[in-house]
Structure 1
Amino acid sequence: MTPAFTVETVDYTAAHGALRQVREAVFVHEQGVPADLERDAADPLCDHVLARDAAGGPIGTGRLTPERRIGRMAVLPGWRGRGVGDAMLAALLDRARAHRWPSVALHAQASAIPFYVRNGFLPRGPVFEEAGIVHQAMHRSLDGPATVDRFDAARATMQALAFRAGRELAIQSRELDPGLLDEPAFIEAARDLLKRGGEVRVLLHDAYAPRQARAPLIGLSQRRPSGVLFRVIEEPVDLTYAGALAFNDRGDWFERPLGHRLEGEAALDDAPRMRQLRARFQETWERARPCSEFRAIGL
């Protein structure tokens, strides 16, 4: 079957016409960015990717600057929501790895922040205005764990783990982390995982606090009892672990040394460390008791 679209790295001199065609359609005509701001002297120095439809027509662009920043991500309206942006971003990350860069950054338009969160980018600093559009600076580590030291970064990390999970999402939390595990985007990602036949397993130190707070994940477990499983840690050897952790079956993980705090480290596509966390989680899971406290709550 002929693919609906292709993505390739292109030479700017040879492909600048096609790149400009997409960028001007999206940024200048659709979003009202002045043409002299959309064009800059950095273009010839950047790595560029171009998405084309089956007939060879340009449908999407993106670039990687020498300053290790991804930008000019644009997809024509009729092709949005069909994986073009994800494929272009993956190609740009591959180029960054080929350069052996430890990390990349970008300025995400406010409407695109969820897209970049799902692809492992963490917010940094306050939102700001650029070319008349609200943006958020974002960052992704490429050669090791990323430091998570802000609430919005911790929230984005949990969303990414839930969204990227294939069949499994596992969480060890003291009391279901209010602000992280009750956030609507996380719950929606968990719900989508269950629809795909996946499973969410949660280890808790305290079942009382989330029950009193009527945590949304409990309500989801009542509607999908075979998909969301809770157990409560009671063994002294397991209660000595003061941290919190989460991982999925894609090799993504997030660990916080102190479970009552948000700070920690996270990584995507780090299967060796994920397997270590899974082994420890599984040992604790087998010793923990099934949680019966949530069965009769009317949410």
Structure 2
Amino acid sequence: MTGEVRRAETDVEREDAFAVRFEVFVEEQGVPEDLEVDGKDDEAVHFVGYAADESSDGSGSDADPRPVAAARLREVGDATGKVERVAVLEERRGDGWGRAIMEELEATAADRGLSTLTMHAQTPVEGFYRSLGYETTSDVFEEAGIPHVEMEKSLD
């Protein structure tokens, strides 16, 4: 992985994160757009990963690095955050972007005083989240026609 993950603080960074999510969830996985855009983005902290070795115009220049990963974090309870919309473009999976975006998200959660993170993880990536310290806390259930499990991690 060559690039950086950062909190999406500007409109452009947020749009970049949304573009990654749209490509992964709507175009690749067939999630209906009205489920992907759930009205909770304004209450979340967004993250975006930019590949320095790839530009949005295909030139390889890092003058306009290409967004390749995204995630969001919402506070959902007393000292609890929910990890949502973690997405890495298909051609960049396995390059370390998922781990990098989760590290930034978890650091932000800890800085905000959150002690527990929960998520609904798609079952094909359950093992990835286990490798980051998350534990499965539910049986398999469906969201948007995709099998998921609930997972949790203590940040203490």
Query: Does residue 53 of the first structure (1) align with residue 51 of the second (2)?
Result: yes
2:59 corresponding residue in structure 1? none
Equivalenced residues, count: 141
Q: Does 1:86 align with 2:99?
A: yes
Could you tell me whether the CA contact under 8 Å between 2:21 and 2:70 is conserved in 1? yes
TM-score, length basis structure 1: 0.46
Q: 2:71 aligned to 41, 59, 62, which one?
A: 62
**Paired position in structure 2 for 1:248:** none
Q: CA contact under 8 A between 1:122 and 1:139: conserved in structure 2? A: yes
Partners of 1:98 and 1:122 lie apart in 2 by 22
Contact 2:8 2:17 survives alignment (8 Å): no
Matched, 1:96 2:109: yes
The yes-or-no answer on 1:37 pairing with 2:35 is: yes
Bigger share in helix: 1
RMSD between aligned alpha carbons?
1.2
Q: How far did 1:101 drift? A: 1.0
1:119 is matched with: 132
Q: Verify the 8 A CA contact 1:22 1:59 in the aligned structure 2.
A: yes
How far residue 13 of structure 1 moved from its aligned partner, in angstroms, is 3.5
Alignment partner, residue 56 of structure 2: none
Cα shift at 1:12: 6.0
What CA distance in whole angstroms lies between the structure 1 residues aligned with 2:17 and 2:93? 17
Equivalent positions of 1:1-299 (< 5 A) are 4-11=2-9, 13-54=11-52, 55=62, 56-67=65-76, 68-143=81-156
Aligned 8 A contact 1:62 1:88 in 2? yes
Q: Which residue of 1 aligns with 2:58?
A: none
2:9 & 2:75 partners in 1: Cα distance? 15
Stretches of 4+ moved more than 4 A in 1? none
Verify the 8 A CA contact 1:47 1:65 in the aligned structure 2. Answer: yes
> Which amino acid is 2:21 matched to?
R
Higher RCO, 1 vs 2 (CA within 8 Å, ≥6 residues apart): 2
2: CA distance, partners of 1:48 / 1:10: 5
CA shift, 1:95, in A, is: 0.8
Secondary structure at the aligned position of 1:57 is classed as strand
Structure 2: tracts of 5 or more residues without a match: 53-61
Larger radius of gyration: 1
Sequence identity, in percent?
Answer: 35
The structure whose residues are more often strand, as a share, is 2
The 3-state SS of whatever aligns with 1:66 is: strand
| SS of corresponding position for 2:75 | coil
- Alignment partner of 2:69: what SS? strand
SS in 2 for 1:97: helix
Residue 14 (structure 1) shift = 4.1
Which sections of structure 1, spanning at least 5 residues, go unmatched?
Answer: 144-299
Q: What CA distance in whole angstroms lies between the structure 1 residues aligned with 2:2 and 2:95?
A: 9
Amino acid at match of 2:106: L
Kindly provide the amino acid, as one letter, of the partner of residue 60 in structure 1: A
Post-superposition offset of 1:16: 2.6
Deviation at 1:125, TM superposition (A): 1.7
Secondary structure, counterpart of 1:126 in structure 2? coil
Distance 2:33 2:10 in 1: 18
TM-score for the superposition, normalised by structure 2:
0.86
Find the aligned partners of 2:105 and 2:18 in 1 and give their Cα distance.
18
CA distance in 1, matches of 2:34, 2:10: 18
